[in-house]
Structures are given as structure tokens and as C-alpha cells.
Amino acid sequence: MKFVDQVRIYVKAGDGGNGAVAFRREKYVDKGGPSGGDGGNGGSVIFEADPQLTTLLDFRYQQHHRAQSGEHGLGSDCNGKKGEDLVLRVPVGTLVKDGEDPSGDVLCDLSAPAQRFVVAKGGRGGLGNINFATSTRQTPRFAQDGTLGEELTLTLELKLLADVGLLGFPNAGKSTLISRISRARPKIADYPFTTLVPNLGVVAYKDRKSFVVADIPGLIEGAAEGHGLGLQFLKHVERCRVLVHLVDLSAGAEGRRPLDDFDTINRELTKYSALLADKPQVVVANKLDLPDAREALPAFTLAMKQRGIRVLAMSGATGEGSQAVLDACARVLFGGVSRKPHGQELRAVVTAHEALHAVKPARARARGAPTRKAKAKPARPPTKGKRGPAKAAAKKARGGR
């Protein structure tokens, strides 16, 4: 499916129906009076965030959207039918902007599943002449027209919702990493700009937790000014909570220094958005499966340590060190990494439940454990009353009287 993240569309809400001018004409009904009904309201245009959608491709080919207008009023006090609302489903993370405003003011940010926003309200139906009858004006020969529905030119801009964003130069190993840690299958090749559109993958982490990873196309110097694919896709990492910065340690064979690549990407992030540059980063030295990369690792790690930055080493091709990268992301996303397996965690929950709702001592006691002797209960004194033993014996002595 083709990835489209920005479109320009036209929407028009339905017009309200006109009120009717009618008079009752029935046999044996003298001077029936006005009977014109009201017009129906026009339908509105509503945007709804659908988590099943990932692109704005449908709006690229259909750019005009109109809601149904309300029907006109009829005689015999019959009102017109209301127009149906037009619900336009868009991916989660879509920004609705005013297309006519040069500043591009955001009308709505559909960042939650099933979130709705009425972008164009339908027109109101007009009143029929039955509403204008008074004691002094018993035969009004006029009605009210319906109002027009709102019409707008909009710009829809999609910003992917992902927890983790993968950054780096072209061929840094981003697509390889996301294919290793998730079920995403992006195109992987040994030439620059293999990835032309962002790819999303869901990572199943420990303790039944999961997070979404976005593979952003490679950035180069000048990406914030539109060089390469940077300006087009930098917006997709604005919503990410943590950035994984992949540094290609084998870049020396191409005449680049890994430390310069790291500084270049961060400069482009700062130029594009200060908030984007302040996001937490996990710096990963990639491609340890290559001999040149292993030789460059100590020098790169030392240089980053002098800056106070910890470096994680991994190989996307073999999977070496990938779990440490996921743990580092989880520390930021979940506030801590749980190393407890599912079986031990489940047993801890069961033990806590048994302690809270303790069973009877006879059932919970282990075999061979000493038992406590039960105390002898004192003899119960004879009860007094009609059925007591003393009164029954006296009755028997009297001969049953």
C-alpha cells in the first residue's frame, strides 16, 4: 500500500431544508389553517480516528466530500428528513489544519483511537408556516429557508504514533533492527535510501508489555532544510517518547567518521525542533558483525564516554546486543525493567492471594506438623424451661398430670 501522509481536501456540510407553506384542505374541516412542516437539518462532516488505518491514500484520489442535505418540509404538518452525517475515517495521529490559512492553524489533533471531531456543521432546517400562525395572523403565507452548511478547505497531515523512533544515516541498519525485534518486514538492501516510507513494528517485550517502533528513512546533513527525505519524515518522530540513534561503525570505509555522523544527526534535530532534540536518546553502535566496526568500537565508546553518553553495541544482522537496546528503551517507556520471568511473577501473585485469603488451618497445615490439642468444653448446665430435664421428671412423678 502506498504511504501518503499529507493531502488537501474540500469538505461541505449538508444544507438545511426549507420550511413548507401549506394549508389544510380536508372535507368537513372548516378553515383548517396552515400545515407546512419544518425542513430537516443538514448532515455534518465528522472526522474519526481509526487505528486500523495507516495512510491517507484514500483522500488522495477523492478530495471532495459532501454530507447529505436535509429534506424540505411537507404539508399535513410533515417535517423534512434530517441529512445523514458524513464520517471520514483517518489514521490515528492525523492533524486537521485550515487549508486557507497560511499559518496552517491546527483545528484538531486526532491522537486517540475512536476520537471524533465535527469539522463542518450542517445547516439548520427552516421553519414551516405552521410556526408563524398567531391570533392576528391565522393564515401565514411564508416560511423560513434553511441555512447553508459549512464548507472548508482542509489540509490533513499524518504524524505516526510510535513509542520508539529509529534514527540514523542511510544504511545504518534501522530496517534490519526493526525486522529483528518485530514482525515488520521492510525492504532491506545495501544501497542508500532503501527505506522511502516509515515502517511501524510492534515489539512484544517482557511481562506482557509491548511498544511500537517506527523506522524513519535515513537522514543526511541538511535534512532540516529539505535535503534527502529528512524534512518529509522528521515530523514522524515528533510524537516518539524515546529515540534510538543508530551509528554505523563501518562508515569509515565510506570516508565518514561515526562521531561526525552522530553530531550531524543531532544538529538536524535541533534545527527542526528544539523539543525533538531534547527527547531521550539511546545511542547504539551498530554492525558489530563487521571487523572494521569492532575495531572502531573502543575509540567511539571512549569519545562518547568523555561526553557523558553511554553507548550500547549491537549487530542487527546477528541480533547480538539487541535485547540490551530493548531494555534501555523499556526503562524510559515503563519507568524500569522487570527481569522476572512470567512463571515466577505468576507464582508471586498466587502466593499473595493465598496470604490475603487464608484457608482453614487444617487444610493449610503441612504433613507431620504438630497439632494443637483442642480444649475440653465444660459441661453444659441443664436448661430451664418447659422442656428441661428437671421439669420433665416432676411431671412424670405426678402421674403425667
Residue 57 counted as domain residue:
yes
pLDDT at residue 393 is higher than 80: no
Examine the domain organization and report whether 135 and 182 are in the same domain: no
Residue 317 counted as domain residue:
yes
The three cell numbers of residue 368 are 507431620
- Give the tens place of pLDDT for each residue, 118-166: 999 999 999 999 999 998 898 899 999 999 999 999 999 888 777 888 8
Examine the domain organization and report whether 102 and 248 are in the same domain: no
pLDDT at 335: 78
pLDDT at 192: 54
Question: Residue 47, SS3?
Answer: strand
Examine the domain organization and report whether 137 and 11 are in the same domain: yes
- Planar angle of CA 227, 96, 61, nearest 5 degrees: 75
What are the strands of the beta sheet with 45-50, ordered from one edge? 86-91, 45-50, 116-120
Domain count within the chain = 2
The three cell numbers of residue 360 are 482453614
In terms of Cα–Cα distance, which of 290, 293, 284, 292 is closest to 314? 284
Mark which of 158, 173, 189 sits at the end of a domain: 158
Mark which of 272, 302, 334 sits at the end of a domain: 334
Examine the domain organization and report whether 215 and 102 are in the same domain: no
Task: Give residue 33's domain range.
Answer: 6-158
Examine the domain organization and report whether 131 and 178 are in the same domain: no
Residue 352 counted as domain residue:
no
Q: How many CA atoms are closer than 13 Å to the CA of 262, on its beta-carbon side?
A: 22
Residue 378 counted as domain residue:
no
pLDDT at 352: 36
- Give the tens place of pLDDT for each residue, 8-57: 999 999 999 999 999 988 888 777 889 999 999 999 999 999 988 888 88
DSSP letter at 131 equals G
Examine the domain organization and report whether 173 and 280 are in the same domain: yes
Residue 126 counted as domain residue:
yes
Residue the block writes with cell 531534547: 278
Examine the domain organization and report whether 23 and 110 are in the same domain: yes
Residue 1 counted as domain residue:
no
Mean pLDDT of the chain: 78
Question: Residue 263, SS3?
Answer: helix
DSSP letter at 251 equals G
Examine the domain organization and report whether 196 and 134 are in the same domain: no
pLDDT at 161: 72
Q: What is the spatial distance between Cα 169 and Cα 191, in angstroms, rounded to a whole number?
A: 12
Query: Which residues, 6 or more positions from 162, have their beta carbon under 8 angstroms from its beta carbon?
Result: 200, 212, 213, 214, 236, 237, 239, 240
Least confident interval from 173-177, 212-216, 397-401: 397-401
Burial grade of 305 (CB within 10 A; 0-12, 13-18, 19 or more): exposed
Amino acid at 49: A
- Give the tens place of pLDDT for each residue, 67-112: 999 999 999 889 999 999 999 999 888 999 998 877 778 899 998 8
Residue 245's DSSP bridge partners are 167, 283
Q: What is the spatial distance between Cα 217 and Cα 192, in angstroms, rounded to a whole number?
A: 10
Examine the domain organization and report whether 281 and 172 are in the same domain: yes
Confidence band (pLDDT; 50, 70, 90) for 219?
Answer: low
What pTM value is reported for the model?
0.64
Examine the domain organization and report whether 192 and 122 are in the same domain: no
Residue the block writes with cell 506438623: 369
Amino acid at 20: A
Whichever domain contains 201, its CATH number is: 3.40.50.300
Whichever domain contains 56, its CATH number is: 2.70.210.12
pLDDT at 365: 43
Examine the domain organization and report whether 151 and 193 are in the same domain: no
pLDDT at residue 368 is higher than 70: no
Residue 308 counted as domain residue:
yes
Share of the chain above pLDDT 70, in %: 74
Q: What is the spatial distance between Cα 242 and Cα 40, in angstroms, rounded to a whole number?
A: 51
Confidence band (pLDDT; 50, 70, 90) for 359?
Answer: very low
Mark which of 334, 349, 372 sits at the end of a domain: 334
Q: What is the spatial distance between Cα 6 and Cα 232, in angstroms, rounded to a whole number?
A: 10
Q: What is the spatial distance between Cα 312 and Cα 315, in angstroms, rounded to a whole number?
A: 10
pLDDT at 34: 92
Question: Residue 188, SS3?
Answer: coil
Examine the domain organization and report whether 179 and 95 are in the same domain: no
Residue 18 counted as domain residue:
yes
Q: What is the spatial distance between Cα 334 and Cα 3, in angstroms, rounded to a whole number?
A: 30
pLDDT at 190: 61
DSSP letter at 337 equals -
Helix, strand, coil share of the chain (percent; to 5): 30, 20, 50
Q: What is the spatial distance between Cα 139 and Cα 32, in angstroms, rounded to a whole number?
A: 10
